[in-house]
Amino acid sequence: MKKAVIAISVLFFISLSAASAHADLDSFLAGLNLQARGDMEGFSVKLSNQFGVSLPRVETIITRVEEPADAFMCLQLGAMAKEEPERVVQTYRRKKEKGWGAVAKDLGIKPGSAEFHALKRGDFELTGEGGMATDTKETKGKGKGKGKSK
């Protein structure tokens, strides 16, 4: 009897922690949607700056997803998986009913990886600062000096 009570307690706490991890991502996305609806232009500019994607491409992505926060997630997962935003949006449109974990897996982000754990925790932020370039057409250099130390 004690083993059954312990097993049920462990399962309860595991399911509770999984639900809270999901709630964290959901809370983050809900906050992004509020921010975007308050200032869509500013939201779009922040996405463009943070992910190194041109503003017209960001605006196109926003029109192809259900919620503005979904555009953020497509760009975030694209940066994590080193995939073009358009491919991520295609994957999102196919897998969105199964959740962001399924989208991430389809893009090659492995369950158990640091990136996948960050996704599950909703451990992201919209800073509007550069550093997460995904727009290879606009961010690739000529190649001079790559890999060379000064």
Cα dihedral 26, 31, 34, 38 sign: negative
Q: Is residue 38 a part of any domain in this protein?
A: yes
**In contact, 19 and 121? CB cutoff 8 Å:** no
Q: Is 28 inside a domain boundary? A: yes
For residue 135, is it within any domain? no
Cα separations (Å) of 53 from 61, 117, 150?
10, 25, 29
Query: Could you tell me which of 77, 74, 49 has the C-alpha nearest to residue 60?
Result: 74
60 occurs within a structural domain: yes
Q: What is the total residue count of the chain?
A: 150
Q: In total, how many domains does the chain have?
A: 1
Burial profile 105-128: b = 16 or more Cβ within 10 angstroms, e = fewer: bbbebeeeeebbebbbebebebee
| Domain that includes residue 97, residue range | 13-130
DSSP assignment, residue 130?
A: S
34 is a domain residue: yes
The residue with tokens 């639900």 is: 19
In-domain check, residue 142 = no
* pLDDT number for residue 22: 45
- Interval 69-100: pLDDT, tens: 999 999 999 999 999 999 999 999 999 999 99
Instruction: Give the pLDDT confidence of 34-57 residue by residue, as tens digits.
Output: 999 999 999 999 999 999 999 999
**Amino acid 130: pLDDT:** 80
Asked whether the beta carbons of 90 and 114 are under 8 A apart, the reply is no
Report field, pTM of the whole predicted structure over 0.75: no
Specify the amino acid at residue 80. Answer: M
Cα separation of 69 and 124, whole Å?
12
Residue 5 maps to a domain: no
Q: Is residue 72 part of a domain?
A: yes
